[in-house]
Structure 1
């Protein structure tokens, strides 16, 4: 097995298990139907016992909640239903008291249109903060009609420009109209952003940030028209003009200077993920990169993206999954590089539903354990999303469309209604596509117990989002202490991951080829041991064989996902990890 001769630096954040919390949906402490900061505090012991080292809190700042807190109106205040700054300080101190660290979301590509800076910016063309956002005059056609400055399309609505009657100009928003983009070309703007969103919270003791849209701050400010890829549409995808812009590493370098003063952990949300090792290294190189690590969107996009000419998302396929996981395990073999390991977050459907099947309860547990085994025995920093540890799945297909609350889902369905007017089959396909990709799946309330509302909130209270129909089968109370449960399996395998960190976290990776496409087999090699992970990604038994140097004399089964016998046949969704000392 080829191994890099340079020594890899070992550090706490590489070995950490990070648990992402969506505040509105985690735990309601005051019976208003919305999760809150005191609710998170009440569950810290649970997180510590699970094996969590770092808590990641999604946006909890003051916000009109157009995009669930990613539209921030004040970085130094808290969204009122969530609590107060004092409550957040209590959370920081309590987490530290239990030996856990805490990171916040850093959302600084844009603000809310209710932020005082934008209100000042739009007040007049002569406002001192006019240049803190992007304002441009309209284009006027030969008939005297007004048009946006260019043909860019936004992520949530079209176009990426909104007309403002106050000063008779358009402003830019890569996301919703209520989320205007900051002008990062203005140094005064950047310094104000750093002070209010970064330094303010680092001084209060947080340990770092998950950085939202980390590659969008630098844009092509000549604002050229985007290439026309769909002649029938007035607006066009323009990501090439606002991702990986010419000054992005300059801006991130300024931020890194602040992060380094506090030894802050940084993980970037890197959309339009670079396809080359060199492109990713620009962001995460331990010598020259501004960030510790980034999220690999190539993994989360599997089963989510359309191919050219295809009507719906590409179904999940095991082979591309193995290829992508292996590709980035190879990337992590470079001592200057590091990666994240994750299958779920607040923006993605649940991993148990990514296979496009309606699993039985037993199979849901088997699949959850299989996925846990893959993730826990690979190199990289491991990220879990709330509810993943108990096997929460997508909301039922039978739920009415008004149960979808996310701005992206609402806008997608409105557009589908227009496109599919009078065509029931077209609308049914659009709704199915929405179900496959909706962010709402991850935002259903956490399922804590067998009581009303599954313990998320009290009896008689209406949660802000409906509790999943399967809450009686999937909840913490039911699984806690049950040796065959997914929750207890996660606890065991996270302990093993740390016990054998030289192998699972830092060991060298090698994919073992198999004639069975549904089998995923890989070896990890450390200084003193080797391991073999084998999982069956199918609902039928599969014969398998592995390398004799690991499965021979002196090897043992470290952990299996089922109580079945060892042998050359893997049951449906079964996984095993073998261990051998060198």
Structure 2
């Protein structure tokens, strides 16, 4: 019944162009499995917990989810140090549980994207153990080096001045093999050698295996670290710090963003395209994670001949380039720059947060959550939401003690005072389902990370009962984004003043305007100043969670007053707006009626 209802709502509410593939308009939801839902009471989230909450994703308007790593691992970096690429870690469940997840998600029309971690393995991986032993098959699976002669005698020195991301040198001595090995992250994460064809094929086999099992695609972790220069030259100093272990000590010209990395993406895209041809159905996709400048990022879309590489690289503009102090014109400039750089035929995407960065509600301030969610869900392209952001979860920045800290990025600082800003633990705390013990995440006496102590007031159950909550607001936006205008419409941005940013989406003579006040003072706008031919009366389609304007309100388009931090969507065609508003309201009522 629920599935039939949801299909009816989608069909009734939108006219989606048939020339776009599923992923091009997807609403992705990142799940950090350790923190989403614990089904067995051990304090750690697991696959059965996720399966139990798949209907929630459908209720939210999610069409695909990306899972942070769930494969067998010693958990030095919480799954990003993989010991076995073909089996689920027992902490999360079994391969059978994952197969069930694929099946249950498919019934709900939700795609499952897996995390692919190709740059390194765990030092407990069979490949590394055999490489240490100089097994002929695996001797060059990793990046090994004798090091430089020590002028004072004794063991050779590291080969160069390279640093690891996790505040250590990038080289660790292995006594048994008598050489240094490279690790661009933790010492327990040795870098694979992608100049070895055997490694290349081994990782292709991983991709093929999980697509066969049912994965709809992959998010590729830390892709721009995949290759290093072959001569191992020193990297130039930045002058920012004298700490030789600090990742900011050098410029990473020789260990990141090398041309070979893009060529490897091309090879993986060829593999996936062939799999899609041989296995008709939903397109399997490839997304890349790389914190890089705009030029390097755009190279992930196509090669020089125009052949596709990744389906898209994650766009971290809203994380890296803008913040709570950014002006409306800075928002306009940065967003316009992204679209100007976007290659013809490429699909954009928007990311507000993830498991590595402070939550956007903490970065931008809770008062700006409405406006930022409008950007995420209504700008052209794919939306990617980090679990918990849809209810406004915040960092537990000062609630996790040094003794409770588990993130290697923080632990490696060896600083019990200042570790808090290096730690990623505050953004990984358990999902806040309700006001019961452990926020409804687990029945354990102790969870793997402490639950944020604001959970009694900030939780999903409470927001389900509040029509002005972030959750209900997110639902309305996710319904609106399925409208043909937001699926296919043109985009134009405008800054009214220092704090009021807006944009219009237009398709087939139908125009929506998004108005966002990022400031603490009210401001009155004239919509036609944006260069759009708006009628005198405009109708509100969606109002922010803190907005005094609600769906169906009629406003004077020549004098719309946006109160502090107000965010609204209006439509030029009042009749169409009324239909859209009514559908969103009915959709919200029916979904809540049948899912709660």
Question: Which TM-score band applies after superposition, normalised by the shorter structure?
Answer: 0.7 to 0.9
Displacement after TM superposition at 1:64 (Å): 0.5
Displacement after TM superposition at 1:303 (Å): 6.5
Determine the C-alpha separation between the residues in 2 that align with 1:23 and 1:399: 19
| 2:81 corresponds to 1:62 | no
Displacement after TM superposition at 1:482 (Å): 2.5
Structure-1 residue corresponding to 2:319: 300
Determine the C-alpha separation between the residues in 1 that align with 2:392 and 2:307: 39
Determine the C-alpha separation between the residues in 2 that align with 1:164 and 1:353: 41
Deviates more, 1:285-294 or 1:98-107: 285-294
- Which of the numbers 242, 250, 253 marks the counterpart of 2:255? 242
Determine the C-alpha separation between the residues in 1 that align with 2:333 and 2:450: 37
**Kept in 2: contact 1:107–1:213 (CA 8 A):** yes
Displacement after TM superposition at 1:509 (Å): 1.7
> What does 1:481-496 align with in structure 2 at a 5 Å threshold?
481-496=465-480
Q: Find the residue that maps to 1:77 and give its secondary structure.
A: strand
**Kept in 1: contact 2:547–2:566 (CA 8 A):** no
Displacement after TM superposition at 1:8 (Å): 12
Determine the C-alpha separation between the residues in 2 that align with 1:89 and 1:122: 34
| CA distance 1:122–1:462, shift in 2 (3 Å) | same
Structure-2 residue corresponding to 1:452: 437
| CA distance 1:543–1:31, shift in 2 (3 Å) | same
Structure-2 residue corresponding to 1:268: 288
Structure-1 residue corresponding to 2:267: 254
Structure-1 residue corresponding to 2:585: none
**Kept in 2: contact 1:530–1:550 (CA 8 A):** no
Superimposed CA distance per residue, residues 422-466 of structure 1 (whole angstroms, 9 cap, x where no aligned partner): xxxxx5xx45xx43x6422221000111211110001x5211011
Structure-2 residue corresponding to 1:378: 379
| 2:532 corresponds to 1:546 | no
**Kept in 2: contact 1:281–1:289 (CA 8 A):** no
Deviates more, 1:320-329 or 1:140-149: 320-329
- Which of the numbers 150, 153, 159 marks the counterpart of 2:163? 153
> What does 1:90-489 align with in structure 2 at a 5 Å threshold?
90-124=100-134, 127-144=136-153, 146-195=156-205, 197-230=206-239, 232-234=242-244, 236-260=249-273, 261-262=275-276, 263-273=283-293, 275-276=294-295, 279-285=296-302, 287-302=306-321, 316-319=325-328, 320-332=330-342, 335-355=344-364, 364=366, 366-397=367-398, 399-412=400-413, 414=414, 416=415, 430=418, 434-435=420-421, 438-458=423-443, 461-489=445-473
| CA distance 1:39–1:326, shift in 2 (3 Å) | same
Deviates more, 1:469-478 or 1:551-560: 551-560
Determine the C-alpha separation between the residues in 2 that align with 1:441 and 1:93: 32
Deviates more, 1:284-293 or 1:70-79: 284-293
| 2:497 corresponds to 1:512 | no
Displacement after TM superposition at 1:248 (Å): 2.0
Superimposed CA distance per residue, residues 544-575 of structure 1 (whole angstroms, 9 cap, x where no aligned partner): 33325444336422222145255532112101
Displacement after TM superposition at 1:188 (Å): 1.0
| CA distance 1:467–1:206, shift in 2 (3 Å) | same
| CA distance 1:141–1:176, shift in 2 (3 Å) | same
| 2:78 corresponds to 1:78 | no
Displacement after TM superposition at 1:233 (Å): 4.1
RMSD, matched Cα: 2.3
**Kept in 2: contact 1:299–1:324 (CA 8 A):** no
Structure-1 residue corresponding to 2:543: 560
Determine the C-alpha separation between the residues in 1 that align with 2:297 and 2:189: 28
Superimposed CA distance per residue, residues 340-388 of structure 1 (whole angstroms, 9 cap, x where no aligned partner): 1110111111111103x5xxxxxx3x53222222222210100111111
Q: Compute the TM-score of the two structures, normalised by the length of structure 2.
A: 0.84
Structure-1 residue corresponding to 2:594: none
Q: Find the residue that maps to 1:95 and give its secondary structure.
A: helix
| CA distance 1:398–1:345, shift in 2 (3 Å) | closer
Determine the C-alpha separation between the residues in 2 that align with 1:207 and 1:544: 44
Deviates more, 1:144-153 or 1:446-455: 144-153
Determine the C-alpha separation between the residues in 1 that align with 2:79 and 2:441: 20
Q: Compute the TM-score of the two structures, normalised by the length of structure 1.
A: 0.86
